[in-house]
Amino acid sequence: MTDKKLRIILVDDHAVVRTGYRILLENDPALEVVAELESGEEANQQARELNPDIMVMDLSMPGMGGLEAIRRIKAKNPEINILVFTMHDNVSFVEHAMDAGASGYITKNNAPNELIQAVHKIASGEKYIEPALKEKMNVQYELG
């Protein structure tokens, strides 16, 4: 990989949460947080202007939620990878987010290194779903 840092936008309606994962992400020298946004509307407006490599986005936000924001952003900016970072650990949320165009999905109850790992995976073009949710999905479909 080159010395070019991955440009990241954080989208979460809680400032303290954004600050926490900004600090975490910027401890990795390959990552640079270029903006913190608090709504899906802001994310949709800023996506093209800021041209990030990755958006780390919550699903539950006032106004336009994360799912609709993902759909709109991906429709206009298909090259942006979106990692859902949320409290929702239900398989249906994962499916809806991935169908909307997300490249990855992790929950906020993971160890900090899980976020870093997920960002690097989706930056390299892979899809990423946290292992516990992937297991839930596999079991559901095997039983289904």
Short-list 114, 98, 119, 109, CA closest to 56: 119
> Where are the chain's structural domains?
6-143
Reading the block at residue 94, the tokens are: 């994962």
Rounded average pLDDT over 11-37: 95
Helix axes 91-100, 131-143, angle to 10 degrees: 100
Short-list 31, 10, 7, CA closest to 20: 10
Over the stretch 79-129, which tens digit does the pLDDT of each residue have? 999 999 999 999 999 999 999 999 999 999 998 899 999 999 999 999 999
pLDDT, position 90: 92
pLDDT, position 144: 46
Instruction: Say which CATH topology domain 6-143 has.
Output: Rossmann fold (3.40.50)
Over the stretch 59-81, which tens digit does the pLDDT of each residue have? 999 999 999 999 999 999 999 99
